Amino acid sequence: MSYKSVFVCAGLVAFAIASCDSQSQEAADPEAVVNVYSARHYDVDDDLFERFTEQTGIDVNVVEGKSDELIERIKTEGEASPADVFITVDAGRLWRAEQAGIFQSAFSPVLDEKVPANLRHPDGLWYGLTKRARVLIYNVESVDPAELSTYEALAEPEWNGRVCVRSSSNIYNQSLLGSLVETIGLEETEAWAEGLVNNFARDPDGGDVNQIKAVAAGQCDVAIANHYYWARLAKSDEPESQDVVSKTAVFFPNQADRGTHVNISGVGVVAGAEHQESAISFLEFLISDEAQEVFANSNNEYPVVDGVSMDPIVAELGEFKVDEVNVSAYGRNNPDVVKLVDRVGWK
């Protein structure tokens, strides 16, 4: 049976039975399968799932979709849901799934040992798979890196009309704000957000890549973006991308104090999972050195496991101090963040 047997039904992907042989195999060994609902859409994930099947004999069936759609689907399916594992990007979305009752504790010493405490749920409901830093991208001609220091400094008057960032509705920005609420408090975070909005070079427009391109074009001097978007441009053979990279550079903020904000893609075992043992084995495989190296070298992300090699472009950015606030705080503080950005007029 192929690791991936899916079909489209009523606009959503649904599981299909690949063959009578696969039916017989599952009947003989009902644990030799794991059903994965994934909001990550990378070919490298498919390759890893195949490796897992080759090594364990456990078939991986995959349903792909947007995070909120998959969460709603699992809720709607209820006890009849075939989902064993849910994968998504951003700790804020993991929190949404947690609040919807999607997860159960994995109870895996392997996961608890290998995944740092700040990158997993305190009760083992979900675990980080990959790590991404939310960095500052600056124009190398108009900004001396000595001018840069912290996220908070971007709200100071000297940055008036010089900052680009995407919409506050984006979960990456909401998680950054959720982290700030956890570390500096709601009142100070709101004051920072208000100052940042006052320093916008333009209204938020587009995604992180658009912000990076705006910096290169001189529309703003600095932008807030996830590091891997810059790394993708750096690895591109397109002249336009190389031009953008030549005019910009990456800065890790808050190195003199708490460290740079990081977020994760993450995974958890679904409550009521029929194939629980297979699901936990699958999670443990995803944080193995083998899988972590594939994640890091293919998606320009950082591994969550220490000592794993990463993509050379990302490695060239250098080591940096990580803010060790537990990423579960991002979602917990999200309701306050949503109200905060509305009050300060961050569109």
In-domain check, residue 217: yes
pLDDT at position 1 over 50: no
User: What is the model's pLDDT at position 215?
Assistant: 98
pLDDT at position 4 over 70: no
User: What is the model's pLDDT at position 179?
Assistant: 98
Pair 94, 26 in one domain: yes
User: What is the model's pLDDT at position 31?
Assistant: 67
Residues 201-211: tens digit of each pLDDT: 999 999 999 99
pLDDT band at 188 (very low <50, low <70, confident <90, very high): very high
Pair 30, 103 in one domain: yes
pLDDT at position 5 over 60: no
Provide mean pLDDT across the span 15-28: 38
Residues 102-135: tens digit of each pLDDT: 999 998 999 999 999 999 999 999 999 999 999 9
Other C-beta atoms lying within 10 Å of the C-beta of residue 95: 24
pLDDT at position 75 over 90: yes
Report whether 39 contacts 65 (CB < 8 A).
yes
Quote the mean pLDDT of the chain.
Answer: 91
Pair 85, 159 in one domain: no
In-domain check, residue 1: no
Residues 305-337: tens digit of each pLDDT: 999 999 999 999 999 999 999 999 999 999 999
Pair 33, 62 in one domain: yes
Residues 139-152: tens digit of each pLDDT: 999 999 999 999 99
Task: List phi, psi (to 5°) of 68.
Answer: -65, -35
Pair 204, 329 in one domain: yes
Pair 97, 160 in one domain: no
In-domain check, residue 144: yes
User: What is the model's pLDDT at position 2?
Assistant: 40
227 is in an annotated binding site: no
Residues 29-40: tens digit of each pLDDT: 666 999 999 999
pLDDT at position 24 over 60: no
CATH number at residue 11: 3.40.190.10
Kind plus residue range of the DSSP H or E element containing 126:
none
CA angle 129–183–107, rounded 5-degree value? 35
Pair 211, 334 in one domain: yes
User: What is the model's pLDDT at position 41?
Assistant: 82
User: What is the model's pLDDT at position 299?
Assistant: 86
Pair 296, 153 in one domain: no
The span from the CA of 272 to the CA of 294, in Å, is 30
In-domain check, residue 59: yes
DSSP β-ladder status, 222-226 and 163-164: parallel
pLDDT at position 96 over 80: yes
Pair 103, 12 in one domain: yes
pLDDT band at 9 (very low <50, low <70, confident <90, very high): very low
In-domain check, residue 49: yes
Pair 11, 114 in one domain: yes
Domain containing 22 equals 6-131+263-310
Pair 23, 100 in one domain: yes
Report whether 107 contacts 277 (CB < 8 A).
no
Provide mean pLDDT across the span 94-100: 95
pLDDT at position 230 over 90: yes
User: What is the model's pLDDT at position 297?
Assistant: 87
Portion of the chain with pLDDT greater than 70, in percent? 91
Q: End-to-end CA distance of the chain, in Å? A: 48
Pair 42, 180 in one domain: no
The span from the CA of 314 to the CA of 328, in Å, is 25
Our CA dihedral for 50, 51, 53, 54, rounded to 10 degrees, sits at: 120
User: What is the model's pLDDT at position 30?
Assistant: 62
Look at the chain and report how many structural domains it folds into: 2
